[in-house]
Amino acid sequence: MNIILLGAPGAGKGTQAVKLAEKYRLLHISTGDIFRANIKGGTPIGKLAASYIDAGKLVPDDVTCEIVKDRLGKEDVKGGYMLDGFPRNLYQAEQLDGFAAIDVCLNIDVDPALLMDRICGRRVCSCGASYHVSTLNGKTTCARCGKELYVRKDDNPETVGARIETYEKQTAPLIDYYKKQGKLVAVDGGKGSPDEIFAEICKQLDKIL
């Protein structure tokens, strides 16, 4: 099974992706993680991507599509994968249709009013886990692996505002795109704990698998 995860920044894509990958044995492919690894490694792609990411804009389509196409060309995707953060606009979705067979698009829907607080309060770990500062009770390390948590460079109010706007203008139209293809599964990501939302996602997915 090949899944796309759709949702605004702060909708909980990353959190749910980690759980879904484990339960359904899917390979988790996050374009955001790929770009951050390139930035950390100082590669040419990282240098190019950084300025867009810091401004809350999309990294250019040619670069992004090439990275995903390459990644989906590898052997290890054969058992099924989950795309987290791609596609993010109609052009990317059309390109993807040319080189991948997607079964389901899972949209995690969250009231835009909640997003700013969710992202600006986010603390992340390099292992992929993320937390909200309000639930950490002053702890600064990861409950899963013990490493020190940090704030992502693009999780500041200015950049978050731009990211939400980019999502609404460019990414939200994809909900309709996948609905028309009959591939859309939607869950409410605004109510309940991450575990409750995960249970709802599984219930929906198990109906169609």
The yes or no reply on residue 8 touching Zn ion (CB under 5 A) is: no
**Which residue in 19, 57, 71, 152 is the catalytic one?**
152
Q: Does 15 bind ligand ADP (CB under 6 A)?
A: no
Q: Is the peptide bond before 112 cis (omega within 30 degrees of 0)?
A: no
Q: Provide φ and ψ at 186, rounded to 5°.
A: -120, 135
At CA 7, angle to CA 4 and CA 10, rounded to 5? Answer: 130
Select the residue interacting with ligand ADP from 35, 131, 177, 178 (CB under 6 A). 35
| Piece of the chain touching ligand ADP by CB under 6 A; list 48-56, 93-101, 137-145, 177-185 | 48-56
Of the candidates 78, 88, 191, 203, the residue annotated as catalytic is 88
If one counts every other C-beta atom within 10 angstroms of the C-beta of residue 63, the result is 14
Alpha helices in the chain (DSSP H): 13-24, 31-40, 44-54, 61-72, 90-99, 112-120, 157-166, 173-180, 194-208
Selected range binding ligand ADP among 31-39, 69-77, 126-134, 175-183, rule: CB under 6 A? 31-39
Between 162 and 191, how does the x/- string for binding to ligand ADP read (CB under 6 A)?
-x----------------------------
163 an active-site residue? yes
Report yes or no: 81 and 26 within 8 Å, Cβ to Cβ: yes
Residue tagged active-site, from 36, 118, 122, 123: 122
- What is the identity of the amino acid at 127? C
Considering the complex, state which of residue 59 and residue 149 has its C-beta at the smaller distance from ligand ADP: 59
Task: Report whether 175 contacts 145 (CB < 8 A).
Answer: no
* Interface residue list for ligand ADP (CB under 6 A): 9, 13, 31-32, 35, 52-53, 56-59, 64, 85-86, 88, 92, 163
